[in-house]
Chain A
Amino acid sequence: MFRLTPIRAAIAALVLAALAGWASFGGYLAREMVAEIAVLAILALALDLVAGFGGMVSLAHGAIMGVGAYGYALANQAGLPPWPAALVGMAAATLTGTAIGAVSARLTGVFFLMATLAFGQMIWALTFRADALGGDNGLGGIARPPLPFLDSGDPLVFALYALVLAAGCLAVCVAVLRSRFGQRFEAVHDNPDRAAALGIAPERIRAQGFAISSMIAGAAGVLAAQHMQFVSPELMVWTASGEVLVVLILGGIGSLSGAVIGAAGFVLLKYWAADWTDHWHLAIGALLIVVVLAGERGLSGLLEGRRDA
């Protein structure tokens, strides 16, 4: 069951603060990377909510995030100002997740994984084929949100704005898990038969958890669209979802702080390794296997020490 231990809170706060500091004193590239980390962290948080605490490992989260990004882009193109358009994007992602969750929630384990793979790929294929969505060229010219007294076009302002959003999503996840709903969500994962005997309907709870997670994934999509000012179907392919899963595993699944660390570590490694080798996925693959063999506690598990979570 989720416990926001002081060490977890400290780790997450420290990482976010370090990223803010880095964005402030680093150059243009640092600021772009921090924004990218924030997007990935939010998506990983969304996935951690369902996979880490509900046992629902989803390969549709990239697609759901993409729906959020496209929703924002289309609403914005239709003339809606950025903030209402962001709500449209999140609502679209939530609706998509609600639909996927409603039909997939009765499946478990690998079957659930396959179902989310199928739905995610359906969304990707539809987007890829739809001329109204720009096909595989995607959509460009997406606006960033206006901020009071600040210019969101400035990379530093945007990086900090993205970090604030990531921190906000982390707080939302903590609140969800601490709520009565969160307890039930974890209970249904822990022992569905007992939960049912207590009057808790496992499928409904799982579907609701998936919808909440999709809303957060939608927020990641909106932020991604604002950051790149461009959306393409690439966001939605299942390998994108698989990559987020890797981020989560490397960071440490089921701890929330692991999502943030994993995202930071992954993006940093990507840029750092890209400087001298084209084959950095080799290291990621090996690392993934090592972490899985070591018991899936990832970086955050390493930082927390060997205590029982």
Chain B
Amino acid sequence: MGKTLFDKIWDNHVVSTLKGGTDVLYIDKHFIHEVTSPQAFDGLRKRNIQVFRQDKTVATADHNVPTINQHLPIKDDLSRFQVQKLTDNCKEFGVTLYGLGHDFQGIVHVIGPELGITQPGMTIVCGDSHTSTHGAFGAIAFGIGTSQVEQVLCSQCVLQTKPKRMRISIEGELNPGVLSKDIILYIISKLTASGGTGYFVEYAGSTIRSLSMEARMTVCNMSIEMGARGGMIAPDEKTFNYVRGRKFAPKEKEFDQALKYWKTLYTDKDAIFDKEYTFSAADIAPMITYGTNPGMGVEITGHVPTLEEIENPKTFNKSLDYMGLEAGESLLGKKINHVFIGSCTNARIEDLRMVADYLKGKQKADHVQVMLIPGSKQVEQQAISEGLDKVFAEAGFVLREPGCSACLGMNEDKIPSGEYCVSTSNRNFEGRQGPGARTLLASPLTAAACAVAGKIVDIRETLDL
């Protein structure tokens, strides 16, 4: 019987298997950041051990950094201390750090791919659930807790039970105004926030194949939002061309050798999945969330479900209370005060180009505050070199400096209590963007259109289709 893409890579990295089925899985790349690593380094210190493979570990500061005046000392004492702690730990343990001020600094899941560190066939982990982003390259990439960060630092391995396999196929051509963000919000709305738990997902089908690498990363990024351990897409010419020539990608002969291997990374025709779903691209419209988990999403022209349409009224009502919405309410036309364009989901150069292209000749509504946060220093520089910053400025958007920012509101970038924010990030949990903040997840195009209109609008109504 044939093997799935997932099995091929997983099996290739099993050092040994424990009684009961837990695998010792070898990790090719370990990304670390300031928030989930300090306790792991402390653990190493307590045991008086070193980082086992320094060359397979890369650090950056992203979760807790300011997005303006990064050249100045961080004002918040705790944040400054935590970022400094990362710097000290990396120095002490010999780990490469792309910290604040470095040309390669940025959101960990944006810099890995753009530097060519992320490659097909790899196993990649990071103490962050959106590590699934790297799966877009045909890698097994997943988030881990701090105890596991410590495991990888000291042994380059994690103990992990092999998840089951799920394939989600999307077929056909996307409708105008529909982006990869809408695809993944649509999938999660169908499978729910727990529909993927226990599984590792492979995204397949002609629609997925048609997507750019950036768009594929957006899809894989949100796999965790349906509970899946990770998501991946078989590498193809687009993948190889993206990786080729990047800073840390294999060069010349080595690249050719790697390519030979990468071309074997696909699911065999007769391989079997534990679960399969197929959706039609034609059924997908621009999406928006109304509730407090990413599974609570609807077509932008749709309505909040009525009480008859849902299973658990208690959780649903709690969610609507928080959001200040009524069951059955339509979202179109709802006034919004904030727009956040950023995060590891949608802050790559393609996202910024798309937003800039849309904004040409337009202005944001006066009452809307916009936070536009590039995913990395390289994305920021690229945007400036293409003159996108000027387009943004003319529209009333300010391009700030890279970091996770208002996606999780660890730094000062927060949405005020009770106010609505259309956000290109990945989570609409209660308080995620600040205590009391009300998040509506959407694509970058929808977010830009809402910023201009000052209310929730259907992007398709504003495009010259």
Q: Are A and B interaction partners? A: no
User: Which A residues lie at the B interface, using CB under 8 A?
Assistant: none
